[in-house]
Amino acid sequence: MLTTTWRTALGPNGLPIVEGREDWPPPRPVLKLPDRYQDRGFLAAGAVGEIRRVHDTKLATELVMKICRRGATTVQRRRFEREARLTARLHHPNILPALDLGVFEDNTPWFTMPEVRGRTLREVITELLAMSPQERARPQRRVIELVEEVAQALGYAHEQGVAHRDVKPENLMVGRFGDVRVMDFGVAMDLRTPEDELDDAVVGTPLYMAPEQARGEIAHCGPTMDVYALGVMLYQVLTGSTPYEGDGVQVWHQVVEGPPPDPADRLRPGFDP
């Protein structure tokens, strides 16, 4: 499983662009885990923290533990704790929830989640786009079905007052039995407290970012951000490319200032929208 590293740049309007990317830096020394958990090894890490596999001795099962980075800023720490609390209230089979939340002896926060083994939707889409058009039809239908399942899960989250804000293939895990889970609510917005200072920055991944999100129009941000990201994924599955191309800041400029992307049926003649 991957965690998210956040790269920050300033856009022309002066707002910080906080772009998520996956990273694998080396693990840090292990803190003493709570007695309930036994360490099973390092899985992944990023600027916000790290993920380790742990054994829950009470439930006799394997989980993952997300640990906030020591020395994290106040905003990073609050986002970390908010992720746990928001996902804990989302009871949906396609959403990866937080199960337990606590702090280490040095006051570093952590929370546990179920472990999902499988592939990210990014890997599934990459494999799909490498196929010939003749081979692609049936697997493409299945990927579209997975996106539909994600849409239902996000619709439920929106009903519960939570917008993900960083929906992208890397944050969707397809399990061994074909189920898909939405994960990494690290920059999620609590729609019940829209004026929270945690939401001042432009957060997310520009390739999948809605225009109002990219412009930092917090008052206009909400569930539509996630709906837009789902549309980008479907566009990618159907045409083989995202609406805009380039690095994070280049794409951000196109989303904010550029013309609308080419319609999918122009890139794929014969496609019925």
| Residue position matching structure tokens 């074909």 | 178
Catalytic residue among 100, 166, 184, 200: 166
Please state, as a whole number, how many other Cβ atoms lie within 10 Å of the Cβ of residue 194.
Answer: 14
Cα separations (Å) of 258 from 11, 209, 212, 225?
14, 14, 13, 18
Please state, as a whole number, how many other Cβ atoms lie within 10 Å of the Cβ of residue 219.
Answer: 8
CA pair distance 69, 184, nearest whole angstrom: 16
Cα separations (Å) of 229 from 27, 164, 170, 205, 208?
31, 10, 12, 10, 5
User: Does the active-site annotation cover 166?
Assistant: yes
Residues forming beta bridges with residue 61, ordered by sequence position: 56
Contacts of 236 (CB under 8 A, 6+ apart): 125, 169, 242
Bridge-based pairing of strands 202-204 and 16-23 is parallel
Cα separations (Å) of 2 from 65, 87, 216, 254?
13, 18, 26, 27
Catalytic residues, by residue number, are 166
